[in-house]
Amino acid sequence: MEEQIIIKRDMHTNPAYGVSPRSRSIEQLFQTGFIALDKPKGQTSAQAVSYVKKLLNVKKAGHTGTLDPEVSGVLPILLNDSVNLASFLNKEKEYIGVMHVHKHVTENEIRNAFQKFEGRISQLPPVRSAVARRVRE
């Protein structure tokens, strides 16, 4: 499939206020951007951030939410100036998983079970967890 760019309104960035995202240098992107890291299993979120800081040679980096060490998944890492925006970001999560069911279960039964996990719920982290054990919403 050929890449297609749809322009609703042709606008230009005033050079006095910066440059368009496609025109930014790698240095500018590292100063104000973020990366979506696929954190490997067996590494803490803090270790992943430390690794990224060294690899990209940036002064500041921070993540937007902790993933347990034994979990792999996307960990957004803010770089340099963008670290200051962490408190403004929406921190809702979506989980995707694979399961093996040992007996016949209808799709309707699965959907009904999953509905219990939608919206705001309270839960206690497991005994073996990287976070403090207290009920969280």
> Catalytic site residues?
68
Q: How far apart are CA 82 and CA 77, in angstroms?
A: 9
Task: Enumerate residues 6+ apart whose C-beta is below 8 A from 41.
Answer: 69, 70, 71, 72
The answer to whether residues 63 and 74 touch, using CB atoms and an 8 Å cutoff, is no
The answer to whether residues 75 and 39 touch, using CB atoms and an 8 Å cutoff, is yes
Identity of the residue numbered 108: N
The answer to whether residues 26 and 32 touch, using CB atoms and an 8 Å cutoff, is no
DSSP 89-108: S------------SS---HH
